[in-house]
């Protein structure tokens, strides 16, 4: 079975948030019934849908702006009941899942704004606010720890491209 998608231009677009509150990062554990990465720890986020912009007025004659930021705020509110602010780009990745679906993931960092965590049923079953050092002891989806290091460095004024961090 080929993992090459039929339409080379069609990707699932996902945006994720490394949420920072009081110097700690929010991790959530995916529900055991999830199709991908069940029971693994990750950061909140979700898929871009055309409904996220198609029915809104365009910002210019041809374009909608701040689409990913809007999606990220919606997804975080839906998944963990938090409002976020000051969204910044961290990195991106691409993959083709075992089911053949190609995904582009845009990883961002955001500051906690308000709210108390309430996990959405079926999405996540646990959460923790952790330091970078504490994050090492969680069963994270591959690459998430490296993204946390990048975000931590970025908060200190040091930007970088993705790399393996030990």
Residue 9 has pLDDT above 80, yes or no: no
Helix (H) or strand (E) holding 31: none
Q: Mind listing the domains of the chain with CATH numbers?
A: 13-154 (3.90.79.10)
Tell me the pLDDT tens digit for each residue of 82-92.
999 999 999 99
pLDDT of residue 7: 61
DSSP state of 119: P
Q: Which residues contact 145 (CB under 8 A, 6 or more apart)?
A: 135, 136, 165
Q: Rounded distance, CA 37 to CA 30, Å? A: 7
Helix (H) or strand (E) holding 60: none
Tell me the pLDDT tens digit for each residue of 21-48.
999 999 999 998 888 888 999 999 999 9
Alpha helices in the chain (DSSP H): 67-80, 132-135, 144-155
Mean pLDDT of the chain: 92
The dihedrals phi and psi of 7, each to the nearest 5 degrees, come to: -105, 110
Tell me the pLDDT tens digit for each residue of 62-103.
999 999 999 999 999 999 999 999 999 999 999 998 888 899
Q: Which residues contact 47 (CB under 8 A, 6 or more apart)?
A: 12, 13, 14, 71
Q: Rounded distance, CA 28 to CA 40, Å? A: 8
């Amino acid at each position: 079975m080929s993992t090459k998608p039929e339409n080379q231009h069609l990707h699932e677009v996902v945006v994720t948030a490394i949420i920072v509150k009081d110097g700690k990062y929010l991790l959530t554990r995916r529900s055991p019934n999830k199709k991908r990465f069940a029971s693994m720890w990750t950061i909140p986020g979700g898929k871009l849908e055309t409904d996220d912009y198609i029915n809104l007025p365009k910002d210019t004659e041809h374009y909608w702006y701040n689409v990913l930021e809007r999606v990220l705020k919606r997804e975080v509110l839906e998944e963990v009941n938090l409002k976020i602010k000051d969204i910044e780009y961290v990195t991106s990745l691409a993959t083709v899942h075992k089911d053949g679906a190609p995904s582009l993931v845009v990883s961002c960092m955001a500051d906690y704004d308000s709210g108390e965590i309430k996990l959405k049923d079926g999405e996540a079953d646990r959460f923790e606010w952790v330091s970078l050092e504490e994050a090492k002891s969680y069963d994270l989806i591959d690459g998430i720890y490296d993204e946390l290091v990048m975000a931590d460095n970025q908060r200190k004024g040091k930007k970088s491209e993705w790399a393996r961090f030990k």
